Structure formats: C-alpha cells, structure tokens
Amino acid sequence: MNSQAKEVTYNFDVLKYILSLVLISAGVVAFYMFSDYSQLYRVLGMVAIVVVALTIMMTTQAGHHSWSFAQEARQEVRKVVWPTRNETMQTTLMVFAMVIIVGFIIWLLDTFLFWAITSLTA
C-alpha cells in the first residue's frame, strides 16, 4: 500500500472517530433534552446510539486491531488450566494461615520495640 492510500485511510478513520464522538455527544444531549419521556426509552436510545458509534469505531484500523486483540485474548484464556475447587480451598487456607502467622510475628516485634523504647526513654 502506498503512502497516499494510507493517508486516505487515515483521513477516513479520523472522520469516523469524529462521527462517533458527535453521535455520543448528541445522544447525551438528547438524553437530557427528552427528560419528559420515560427513562427506559431514553436509556434504550442511548444504548442504541452507543452501539452505532461502536460499530462505526470497529470499522477503523484501531477497531480492527482491538477486535483481533480481543479474539487472541479469548483464545489465551481458553488455554489456561484453572485450579480445581479443592486446590483453591487449600491455597486460600494457606494464605489465611500465613496472614495470621505474619500478623502474630509483627505484633510480637511491635510489642518488643514498644517495650525497648519505653525502657530507654523512661
């Protein structure tokens, strides 16, 4: 692809970004202008506008990259070996036990340091 074609694509992407921002801004303004109507209708209208804006954004180069990233992330999540319930419970109990042990050690250290400071200053 030559530089002129890239520039044209870039210009169209900028126009799509601007159009999406204008749509969302108009949706927010309309949401508050039509406050006399039911909130359900206003929220549904806002959702529809956001969907249209996102659809426009997905046609840009950044949108294509975002979509491919999301698909690759989904594939990677499927590869993860999740721990069983038993492993999760054991790990959680070990963390609780370590928190209690470290808390006790810090309490002992604090008590000793308090005793040492009061002995030196008294």
User: In this structure, what token pair is assigned to residue 70?
Assistant: 């999301």
> 18 and 57 in contact (C-beta within 8 Å)?
no
pLDDT digit string, tens, across residues 44-82 = 999 999 999 999 999 999 889 999 999 999 999 999 998
pLDDT for 4 equals: 62
Position 41, amino acid: Y
> Domain map of the chain by residue range?
1-80, 82-122
Tokens 């210009």 identify what position?
11
pTM over 0.85: no
> 75 and 81 in contact (C-beta within 8 Å)?
no
